[in-house]
Amino acid sequence: MTEMKQPDPVDILILGAGWTSTFLIPLLQSLKITHAATTTTGRDGTIPFKFNPSSTSQEDLHQYKTLPAAKTVLITFPLSGPGQSRKLVESYQSVHDGEGRVQNWIQLGSTGIFSAKEWNDFESPWNRENGRGIAEEELLGLEVCKGTVLNLAGLYDDEVRRPRNWVGRVAKSKADVSKKQVVHLIHGRDVARAILACHQNFSKVEGYRWIITDLFVYDWWTLMMDWGGKLDDGTDLRTAVFELMEETGVKALPRDTDDLGRRLDSREFLLRRAASRAIATKPSTNLLSQQRSIITAARPALVSRQQWFATSFQKRFASDEVKPTDSEAVVQAEASETAPEETAPEVATAADATSEVTGQGAAATQFSNSEKAPSDFVDGNPHGNVLYVGNLFFEVTEDALQRLFSEHGEVQKVKLIYDHRGLSKGFGYVTFSSAEEANKATDALNQQPFHGRRLSVQPHQPRERLNDNRRAFDNPRVNNPSKTLFIGNMSFDMSDKDLNDLFRDVKNVVDVRVAIDRRTGQPRGFAHCDLLDIESATKAKEILSGKDVHGRQLRVDFSQSTADRPQGDFPPRRNSDNNGPPRERRNYDNNGPPRRNYDNNGPPRRNYDNNGPPRERRSYDNNGPPRERRNYDN
């Protein structure tokens, strides 16, 4: 019988290519780290492998021979109870002992083994009856290999595992909501980078279990208030949270961290040189990254929409045709030790902020600032029958407004304005069948209390939708071809996948800078893209122009970075140039009118000089009258 050929050795062997591998494998490929992966069925080019902890047959041992020798073996599926970790390691090593190396083993575990209602860190006691914890402890104690455990918090991504989708499962009733306290999270990309950090510097992490989170504590009530939803009995989720706040004396969200039960402290992993070197090379690509805000700009983790970060985004589309300079080559060599891809979310860094101004931004500010979402406008008000209704409580619904205004006439239409998250902006419009009814409603309801707020009701005065800037937007000036493209009118709801798809067919991309609002960390809706040459930029413009993403048609034009713009090639300033009339100055020159503070030849100052009359002193000298003293001498 012919002996089966042994697969070539690899750097990392992934036992169980599941959800984590969708982030880890692209990362390893980008860094040219050799790897192999298994699945139970052998799908997608993986090696078929199924761990059977109770089997002792030769057939079971044979499947280990199909696995390549590896420097690091990653276990992604759960092991439970005593004996399983030893069985897996010894079975693998029985067919790979001749490789002359001691493998590094990484087990992905769960933070569920920590049950103390306080802060838990990598040295905290764990539940000794937990099967997964027992298997992890066994791996760490094996002498035939080096082992480490990564205990992961709530795993999420941007498409399938979205935390806001968990609310319906964890909170079916008000009683469920009352029990919800803290939640910790970690994005799949950060898990991949943590695995890479262990592989590259295993001596720094071996022998310990590490808690892996994004370093934030999230209050479930805060998330529920932000996302909203319905309980099983139809109760509004925000209403339930508000009632619980009143019942428990909570005055504001988020609640105090010490009141949230079990908390996870994951700082130690980042403090290790191994992790910090591989994860924290750039502020926007470490576990602290706020790119994925779950809530709003002011809160630090996952938003319902994906934020963009320029420093990582630009590397994803870097072209192999670009020849880096010597200094760039050094930077790229250092960065190759880290994960090159990152989306976000969560606060704009200095690098993000400066990226906003590296390109020609006139068109950008024009596009982003003048654009309004279609929901911000209603039809004109030629008949005077449309009312603006402001200062609304954010929980007011269109039905509630319909009932209120129907008492004063026939309401044809009610429209509340929402932001990109689907949250009310606190104002809306009500359309009556006639101007007379609208005026009647204005007189009756303006400044009247409604849901705890005084309404602002007045006739709607529509702003003109095509102002000068907008006309310039619709009929833009054609810029000369350059190596830099301006891409405007980008939807704020674009995800990282959308950006990948957008640039998939674009070749020779050198740099992409997505503008970030430095105050909020949110995308501003435009980007600049540098390409290898003008020809590549022209082709890219043809590919991207007119593309529709999330209902918004991209505006693409040539732009110029300030470094590439020829000296003197600037538009004229508002203040006329040297050949025009002089600018008026408040401080006149010597030939002009005198200044307000006169020179020495002008009128004397109030405090006279030495030749003028003496100043009156309240305290007289020795020859003058004595000063009055309250405490008289003897």
Do 331 and 281 form a contact (C-beta atoms < 8 A)? Answer: no
Q: 185: which strand partners?
A: 154
Compute the average pLDDT of residues 610-625. Answer: 54
Q: What is the pLDDT of residue 374?
A: 40
Do 424 and 392 form a contact (C-beta atoms < 8 A)? Answer: yes
Distance CA 440, CA 280 (A): 63
Report pLDDT digits (tens) over 330-381.
333 333 333 333 333 333 333 333 333 333 333 333 333 333 434 444 556 6
Q: Going by DSSP bridges, is the β-strand pair 104-110/146-152 parallel, antiparallel, or unpaired?
A: parallel
Per DSSP, 371 falls in state -
Q: What is the pLDDT of residue 517?
A: 75
Do 454 and 448 form a contact (C-beta atoms < 8 A)? Answer: yes
Do 532 and 510 form a contact (C-beta atoms < 8 A)? Answer: yes
Compute the average pLDDT of residues 227-243. Answer: 92
Distance CA 191, CA 213 (A): 9
**Domain ranges for the chain:** 10-160+184-215+263-280, 310-368+468-559, 381-459
Least confident stretch, 109-123, 238-252, 566-580: 566-580
Distance CA 17, CA 24 (A): 9
- Answer yes or no: is pLDDT of 596 > 60: no
- Answer yes or no: is pLDDT of 241 > 90: yes
Residue 624 banded pLDDT, cuts 50, 70, 90: low
Do 263 and 118 form a contact (C-beta atoms < 8 A)? Answer: yes
Of residues 496 and 256, which shows the higher confidence score?
Answer: 256
What is the number of other CB atoms lying within 10 angstroms of the CB of residue 546? Answer: 10
Query: Cα-Cα-Cα-Cα dihedral of 406, 412, 416, 422, to 10°?
Result: 120
Identical fold at 310-368+468-559 and 381-459?
yes
pTM, two decimal places: 0.48
Amino acid occupying residue 219: D
Residue 94 banded pLDDT, cuts 50, 70, 90: confident
Distance CA 619, CA 386 (A): 75
Q: What is the pLDDT of residue 4?
A: 57
Q: What is the pLDDT of residue 57?
A: 67
- Answer yes or no: is pLDDT of 385 > 60: yes
Distance CA 360, CA 558 (A): 9
Highest mean pLDDT among 1-5, 412-416, 424-428, 602-606: 412-416
Average pLDDT of the chain, as a whole number:
74
Q: What is the pLDDT of residue 510?
A: 78
Compute the average pLDDT of residues 461-487. Answer: 65
Compute the average pLDDT of residues 3-10. Answer: 76
Q: Report how far Cα 40 is from the mean position of its chain's Cα atoms.
A: 35
- Answer yes or no: is pLDDT of 88 > 60: yes
Do 50 and 15 form a contact (C-beta atoms < 8 A)? Answer: no
Domain 381-459, CATH class in plain words: alpha beta
User: Counting every residue, how long is the chain?
Assistant: 634
Of residues 519 and 25, which shows the higher confidence score?
Answer: 25
Q: What is the pLDDT of residue 625?
A: 56
Q: What is the pLDDT of residue 577?
A: 46
- Answer yes or no: is pLDDT of 623 > 90: no
Architecture of domain 10-160+184-215+263-280: 3-Layer(aba) Sandwich (3.40)
Compute the average pLDDT of residues 552-579. Answer: 60
Q: Going by DSSP bridges, is the β-strand pair 548-549/552-553 parallel, antiparallel, or unpaired?
A: antiparallel
Compute the average pLDDT of residues 597-609. Answer: 51
Which homologous superfamily does the CATH classification assign to the domain defined by 310-368+468-559? RRM (RNA recognition motif) domain (3.30.70.330)
Compute the average pLDDT of residues 78-95. Answer: 90
- Answer yes or no: is pLDDT of 405 > 50: yes
Residues in contact with 529: Cβ distance below 8 Å, sequence separation at least 6, in sequence order: 484, 485, 487, 503, 506, 509, 511, 512, 513, 540
The owner of tokens 């502020």 is 283
Q: What is the pLDDT of residue 82?
A: 92
The owner of tokens 């319909």 is 402
The CA distances from residue 440 to 411, 446, 451, 454, in Å, are 12, 10, 21, 17
- Answer yes or no: is pLDDT of 568 > 50: no
Distance CA 260, CA 180 (A): 8
Distance CA 23, CA 186 (A): 13
Burial 181-193 (b: 16+ CB within 10 A, else e): bbbbbbbbbbbbb
